Amino acid sequence: MRLGGEIKEKIKNGEKIYNFTIGDFDSSIFPIPKKFEEEIINAYQNKLTTYPPADGILALRESVSKFIKEREGLNFNTNEILIAAGGRPLIYALYRAIVDKDDKVIYAVPSWNNNHYVHFTEGRHEVIETNAENNFMPTAEDIKPHIQEAVLIALCSPLNPTGTVFKKEELEKICDMVLEENNRRAEDEKKLYVMYDQMYWMLTFGETKHYNPVSLRPEMKNFTIFIDGISKAFAATGVRVGWALGPELVLSKMKAINSHVGAWSPMAEENATARFLLQKDEVDQYLLAFKKELNERLQRIYEGFQQLKSEGFPVDACAPQAAIYLTIQLSLASKTTKKGDFLSTQSDVTNYILDTAKLAVVPFYAFGAPKDSDWYRLSVGTCKKEEIPAMLHQLREALENLK
């Protein structure tokens, strides 16, 4: 938030900032699908503006059921689907439904907001620090020492902030461990659930494949709550339609919580989404073009970082796999500028890159990683392709200014 304030102030003062911080889209570059937009307009013109049911209109839950069956092979009936105003209220309700005070929650860092949700519910933080060798994805070996007495494991794939995904074998190991732990627990013990945030699952690139717990281990359906929706796959972050899939018992509690919070998705948007999800050709055509544009941006910036690395500059990047994010490394702490300014902390590095290269990216320490982590999230949701060469040139000049 502080970084965002600084960026806005610089832009207000006329500076050209290459802003790659926002996990959102510039709708002039990435608009929502045209047919989807027409469905939303039609819904409003048909006066669909009243309260929706607390779990979402039946037509939308039926559409989601068909959509995920066709595209992921997942079987969830309408009583196992909950609609809300995007992923956030679903995640909040899930934490509230499962986590009691002092309950143990396992989550990896960097990750999006798990630390805050554990704080809200007064749970116990079991934090796993991931590394670049595993593409910042937690492993079964990482999780195993913490699994006893835990009530929730928060997983996300493709991961925000890294844009990386679980390997099939590793996710299978995690699922087997969860099933074994639940079989071990007595009947009167709380079960161990997995929150599986797959908001970016439709945005994978190249040979990357998305895997989920229930497809790999059908028994995991009793213990998995999916978080999903239209926000990222259709560049529709402001349209606010998300869904959770999971055991009816858990979803009924989530529904009760969301109904008191008033976190329903708007009636018109629910009706529009219900209609659009079933338009297979329109969805496929949109995703094909959308993914091509995202991947081109990610790949060009990745190649730019690899070129800088090959020239000896202390930077790196993980090859893009999915989502709208590139994981980059800026190992500039302990460097000195030609003016004699010493970059003693990673925060100094972040500010230097912003002030000198005019490049704004989000440090992993904003996602719970250690303060000295030199990894960053770069988001291409507002990136103009024609500005990439100038951004890389600015970065090169800033790197050349260090010794």
Secondary structure (DSSP) of 3-34: HHHHHHHHHHTT---EE---SS--TTTSPPPH
Q: State the pLDDT at residue 3.
A: 76
What pLDDT score was predicted for residue 5?
77
Is residue 250 located within the same domain as residue 343? Answer: no
Do 240 and 170 lie in one domain? The reply is yes
- Please, are residues 80 and 126 in contact by the beta-carbon 8 Å criterion? no
Cis, bond preceding 247 (omega within 30 deg of 0)? no
Q: In the beta sheet, which residues pair with residue 336? A: 342
CATH number (domain holding residue 329): 3.90.1150.10
Query: End of a domain among 234, 262, 278?
Result: 278
Q: Can you give the three-state secondary structure of 217-234, one letter per residue?
A: CHHHHHCEEEEEECCCCC
Q: How far is 250 from 243, CA to CA, in rounded Å?
A: 14
What pLDDT sits at residue 386? 96
Same-domain pairing of 249 and 290: no
Please give the pLDDT value at position 90.
98
pLDDT for the residue 11: 86
Nearest to 29 by CA among 297, 391, 359, 361: 297
Q: Are strands 242-245 and 224-229 parallel, antiparallel or unpaired?
A: antiparallel
Going by their DSSP bridges, the two strands 325-330 and 375-379 should be labelled as antiparallel
Kindly provide the residue ranges of all beta strands, DSSP E only, lying in 198-330, ordered along the sequence: 224-229, 242-245, 315-317, 325-330
One domain, residues 241 and 349: no
265 with 322, same domain: the answer is: no
Strand arrangement, sheet containing 362-363:
315-317, 325-330, 375-379, 362-363
Residues 12 and 104 in one domain: no
Peptide bond into 158 cis (omega under 30): yes
Number of domains the chain is built from: 2
Does one domain contain both 296 and 272?
A: no
Same domain, residue pair 162 and 302: no
Tokens linked to 180: 């074994």
The H or E element spanning position 398 is helix 388-400
Pair 64, 168 in one domain = yes
Per-residue pLDDT of the chain (403 residues; tens, 9 = 90+): 677 778 888 888 899 999 999 899 999 999 999 999 999 999 999 999 999 999 999 999 999 999 999 999 999 999 999 999 999 999 999 999 999 999 999 999 999 999 999 999 999 999 999 999 999 999 999 999 999 999 999 999 999 999 999 999 999 999 999 999 999 999 999 999 999 999 999 999 999 999 999 999 999 999 999 999 999 999 999 999 999 999 999 999 999 999 999 999 999 999 999 999 999 999 999 999 999 999 999 999 999 999 999 999 999 999 999 999 999 999 999 999 998 999 999 999 999 999 999 999 999 999 999 999 999 999 999 999 999 999 999 999 999 999 8
Alpha-carbon distance of 275 to 257, in angstroms, equals 27
Whichever domain contains 55, its CATH number is 3.40.640.10
**Domain of 69, in residue numbers:** 34-278
